[in-house]
Structure 1
Amino acid sequence: VSDYGLYVLVTSFLTYFIMDFGLGDAVARFISKYRIENDEQKINQILGLTSKIYLYINLCIFTALVVFFFLLDNIFKELNDVEIEKFKSIYIIAGLFSLLSFPFSSLNGVVIAFERFVFLKLCDFINKCLTIVLMVIALYFGYKLYSLVFINALVGIFIIIIKLFYLRKHTNINVDFKFKSKELKKQIFGFSAWVTIIGIAQRLLINISPTLLAIYSGTTAISIFSIGIIIEGYVWTFAGALNGMFLPRVTALNSESNDKSKVTELMIKVGRIQLFVVGLLVIGIIIFGKEFIVLWMGEKFKESYLVVILLVIPGLVPITQNIASTLMYVENKLKYTALIYICSSIVSIISSIFLIPKFGALGAALGISLGISIFQVVVMNIIYQKVMKINVVYFLKSSFVKMLPLFLIVIGIGLAMNYYIKTSDFFTLFVKAFIIGIVYLALMFGFGLKKEEKDLFASVITKRFN
């Protein structure tokens, strides 16, 4: 438990330093724009310009990591002598990998701009699966903390190499490192400044929690919290499968017309599909989450279930509004998003500081949930409605109002099943989950989905079988 707490603490601590300051998003936005204009020269120029900026930032990150290495004893006073020595060792391993991988941070933005979405999601999938397989092998043969950190680094480098080879083979990119332009640099930083603020605020929202837990509680609370974060992360990995895919489409719509009704319609179409997918995942967590965590990690991690619930439920609305958030990027109105994330993080941190000493991991989750609910759900939708002129009320009626009653019915059936059928092993759990999955699909296809949505899923299944 202590070692795992250290593993999570190092990962979260390094994220304060390893950020691309919005350059990845800037690359995706500008390349999408230049592809619409069919200007390959500008694509090569912006990649050359941003590559040099990445190297300068990497040097600054290296300096910061070295300085903070000598301050670790003073920052994490709750850690004992053995824990602090382990922390320093994995800090060095993870820090070196971060410095090696950082200059390639824009690769995802390039892949998104060229609309190679299947490849990108396949890379994410391989990354997750390969990491898990290698970790299981390492743990089985008795390797522990250091091997897990090394495996993460090794798989990360492997995925970077795959992306580089793919882009070299399937695109005409020829990076122009000699290109210089103060005007373009000004445009990039004008866009990326707000993305940077959003990135910092996002890190302060969740990634600072292990640090606060280390200061006010200890490594056990970090482990309990991190189990919740792992499950929450996998939920949004699946739920966010469509994220980024519509940047070129929204950019084109915005270039063609200022009519926001088309954006609203696209938002409803994508949002309903995302809600259909994430609805099944969230319902599964609500019904079976506690049983799964107890079977997986043991009774002492039972509190992680409430951590997952508090982190997942508030994110249900934002994850289905990817089109609206993408429009904010396209129209360069990120100052609103940045201010909302800042306020969300401030509320989360302040409330967590008061709640953690008494409630531990649950206090951290409560603080985050409060910040997300107030600002990223309520205030953000007001911005979408008033500033972006998106018909949010119509969106909520077309998606959540129509699907939520069916969600509640499935949850009711699932909780009743849990009451009468106790779970003692994974087989029973999976059988119950399979039954609930069938009930969910039957209700959604019978009453929840529109005809065109049913046709869409049917066509995908038919193609796969063919």
Structure 2
Amino acid sequence: MSQIKKGAFLNYITIFLINTVGLVMTPFILKNLGKDQYGIYLTIGALIGTISLLDFGLNNTIVRFVAKYKAEKDKKGEENFLATTMLIYSMISLLVVIVGAIFYYGYFDSYFTKMSPEQIKIAKTMFVILIFNLAISLPGGAFTGICSGYEQFVFPKTLKIIRYVLRSFTVVCVLLMGGEAIALVIVDTVFSVSAIAITAYYVFIKLKVKFKLHSFKKSFIKEILKYSVWIFVFALTGIFQWKAGHWVLGRISVPSILAIYGIGITLGSYYGAFSTAISSVFLPRATQMSVGNATGEQLTDMMIKIGRISFIVLMYIFIAFTLYGYQFVYLWVGDELGRDGSLQCWIIAMMIMIAYTLPLVQNFGNSILEAKNKLSFKAILYLSFMIIGTILGAWLAKDYSAIGMISGSVIGWLIVQNVMNFYYHKVISLNILRFFKELAHKIIFTLILISIMGYGITHIPGYGWSNFLLKSSLFTIIYGFLIYYLGMIEFEKNLIRNTIQSASTKIAKLWKA
């Protein structure tokens, strides 16, 4: 099996592991830290995530240029490029420390107005440790980028899995021994620095990569930054999409509200991971079609295929969460957040799922934009409306707290995706009307029937974990049966049959061996 296939396989394991362990660890951490410290932990993490934007997309740029020099067998050019990026990273790390120091000494106390003096003290300690972590990890991330440029995916992804498992185990031990939020930040920093050191050793010893400045040219730095600018814009968009709410609520809300908002965001972000894991299998083929000058109708056909599969997966999660999600959230974190807090988490996650469904179903469109080098319009559009959504959310948050904050962001998402549909239709020549018509074919009627039957299941008496598992199991059986026999077209049925047959064959071979 090639490095690419092994890397893809390990990527799916990572997605599954992070989502599964995250669901288990979140209530455990919340219970042991308490909602106030957990809210501080999430908010300071989001603040540091914002400062990490000072990377300017350089890590992704390293992958592209290293792959280019490797293909050209230009070892001298590669050495010069890597040495130049390390000089840039040195300045970035210094900038991170300066920005962190300015915020720490000038604005920290006055910004987090709803925190007590003791909470401010905890938050400041965490901030200092995470600034140090960031100053090291930003240039350290270059080593993972080098591995990707060399198409060496197995080692860094395996290391990531091992790191995540060991980190989770260590967090459990630390919390059971009475550790608090500061201890978790220290654990994260230790594992981060260790992973960087191990990856650096692999790059220098195994791959025999060297950093050597043969010549320093300002034009070369401009070329590097020119490539990374749109990566930076998308990263900035992601910050406003997922982390801006923490900044706003951190100023006007008590830490317990930050915990509610953070858990709602976490649940919403899990929603997209399942769809992305499915649709990404088809994206390389889609990119090849775009590069091969496929017609608008041919691209629409592929978008429909990918979109329907994603839609089927997403609707299973969406309908189940709509019907049984509040019960799940209350069982999951209700002991710490109470019924009202659990309800708010559920509402926030539901709002994200509603806004996030269409972009996920049309994920193929982003691949087309990338292949046609037309990402700039989407990047600027998304960034503009994410900023507007954050401002609107901040205004609504004054009266409606966490629900108000997410409402502003969701409105921004919905507007952007509707504009993008006009763009896909007019500029990319995708037949959007046919896309929606064929997306709904057979599926919508089936989903209505499933929803009615699923609602009937909600009346099964009881409210504990066994009751939830009974309801969700019955729903899963009904969904799988009806969507297969009533909702799927022949292509989708064949895809499932072939997948099951292939998996059965591999299991049989392993059993015989």
Matched residue SS, 1:105: helix
**Counterpart in 1 of 2:44?**
10
Task: Please state if 1:53 is matched with 2:95.
Answer: no
Question: How big is each residue's C-alpha offset from its partner over 1:51-105, in whole Å with a ceiling of 9 and x where there is no partner?
Answer: 4433332221221111111121122222221111110011112221111111133
The Cα shift of 1:165 comes to 6.5
Q: Does 1:461 align with 2:503?
A: yes
Decide which of 483, 489, 503 is 1:444's aligned counterpart.
483
Q: C-alpha distance in 1, partners of 2:280/2:148? A: 6
The C-alpha deviation readout for 1:92-131, integer Å capped at 9, x for no partner, is 1222111111113356656666667777776665555544
Cα distance between partner residues in 1 of 2:203 and 2:296: 34
Of 17, 39, 59 in structure 1, the residue corresponding to residue 72 of structure 2 is: 39
- Structure 1 residues 34, 260: closer, same or farther in 2, change over 3 A? farther
Q: TM-score, normalised by structure 1?
A: 0.86
Is contact 1:261-1:390 (8 Å) kept? yes
Query: Does 203-212 or 414-423 show the bigger shift?
Result: 414-423
Amino acid in the other structure paired with 2:41: Y
Q: Does 1:22 align with 2:57?
A: yes
Matches of 2:130 and 2:46, distance apart in 1: 11
C-alpha distance after superposition, 1:278-323 (max 9, x if no partner): 3333333222211111112212422111011011221112123333
CA deviations 1:159-206 (Å, max 9, x no partner) are 545655676798786666546565554443223223322322321233
1:245-324 equivalent positions in 2, closer than 5 A: 252-257=288-293, 259=295, 263-298=299-334, 299-302=339-342, 303-324=344-365
Counterpart Cα distance in 2 of 1:124 and 1:100: 17
CA distance in 2, matches of 1:442, 1:173: 53
Contact 1:406–1:443 (8 Å) recurs in 2: yes
Q: Residues 358, 383 of structure 1: CA spacing in aligned structure 2 closer, same or farther, 3 A cutoff?
A: same
Cα pair 1:263 1:323 within 8 Å, conserved: no
**1:101 counterpart = 2:137:** yes
Partner of 2:4: none
Matches within 5 A, 1:65-76: 65-70=100-105, 71-76=107-112
1:81 aligns with 2:123: no
Unaligned segments of structure 1, at least 5 residues: none
Deviation string, structure 1 residues 252-284 (Cα, Å, up to 9, x no partner): 545443645554444444433333333333333
Q: Is the 1:134–1:151 contact (alpha carbons within 8 Å) kept by the matching residues of 2?
A: yes
Identity %: 23
Shift of 1:158: 4.9
Where 1:59 maps in the other structure, the secondary structure is helix
Determine whether 1:189 maps to 2:231.
Answer: no
3-state SS of 2:51 partner: coil
Query: How far does the alpha carbon of each residue in 1:359-417 deviate from its partner, in whole angstroms, 9 at most, with x for none?
Result: 11111121111111111x21122222222333333443443555344334333322221
* Distance in 2 of aligned mates of 1:349 and 1:278: 26
Q: Which residue of 2 aligns with 1:422?
A: 462
Cα distance between partner residues in 2 of 1:155 and 1:412: 48
Q: TM-score, normalised by structure 2?
A: 0.79
**Distance change >3 Å, CA 48–CA 287, structure 1 → 2:** farther
Partner amino acid, structure 1, of 2:358: V
Letter in 2 for 1:105: G
Conserved? CA contact 1:29–1:330, under 8 Å: no
Aligned amino acid, residue 458 of structure 2: N
Using the TM superposition, give the Cα deviation of residue 356 of structure 1 relative to its aligned residue in structure 2, in angstroms.
0.9
Instruction: Tell me how large the CA RMSD over aligned residues is.
Output: 3.3
Distance 1:41 1:251 in 2: 27
1:351 counterpart residue number: 392
State how far apart, in whole Å, the 2-side matches of 1:335 and 1:413 are.
45
